[in-house]
Amino acid sequence: MDIKAFLESPTQKGLEVAKKDDLIKIATRLNLTEVKQSMRKADIQRLIAGHYVEKKVFEKEVLKQFPGSEIAISEAQVQLAKIEAEREQTQLKIEAEREQTQLKIEAEREQKRLEAEREQTQLKIEAEREKLEAEQKKLEAEQKITQMKIEADLAMKQMELDKEGETEAA
């Protein structure tokens, strides 16, 4: 049997007429690790057929033509269950990593939002401080002007009193 030709274009007929040694070579090429030399030919045929059914190369009805022993079917089911469990575990890990990444992204966004909010508050405080400083300078200037007016008024009153004192003295 031309194994290479069978692998390139697998057929039911080719699987039916293949010798046990050829079937083992085919199973090896397909990485069907559950196939053992000690297995019956029908069991190996069924496992290979099952592989091609899974790959959608053969229809499911093909399996009926290769009645394998319950042991081979059971082994294949166990292997399939292991693979399925590993796939589910991998899927759960991927999902957990995705959720963790999403949480990190959300935390970073929140941190950036809080930082922007803090900066905005800092700018408001700075603007308010500058406003208060300007108001304080304005009040200080008004105070100086008022003090100068009072001193000028006092000086005028003193001069008037001095004039009145001179006028009375003369």
Is the model more confident about 69 or about 4? 4
Confidence band (pLDDT; 50, 70, 90) for 73? low
- Please report, for the chain, how many H helices and E strands are present, in that order: 5, 0
Cα separation, 150 vs 154, in Å, equals: 6
pTM assigned to the model: 0.41
pLDDT above 80 for 56: yes
What are the Cα distances from residue 90, in Å, to 28, 70, 95, 104?
26, 30, 9, 21
pLDDT tens digit string along 107-163?
999 999 999 999 999 999 999 999 999 999 999 999 999 999 999 999 999 998 888
Rounded to 5 degrees, φ, ψ at 112 are -65, -40
Cα separation, 14 vs 2, in Å, equals: 9
Count the Cβ atoms, other than its own, within 10 Å of residue 115: 10
Confidence band (pLDDT; 50, 70, 90) for 74? low
Which residues lie below 8 Å from residue 73, measured CB to CB, with a gap of 6+? 46
Q: Average pLDDT for residues 46-63, to the nearest whole number?
A: 86
Residue appearing with tokens 């796939």: 87
pLDDT above 90 for 64: no
Mean pLDDT rounded to a whole number for the chain? 88
Is the model more confident about 5 or about 166? 5
Lookup: tokens for 166: 């001179």
Q: Determine what percent of the chain falls in helix, strand and coil, rounding each to the nearest 5.
A: 85, 0, 15
pLDDT above 70 for 100: yes
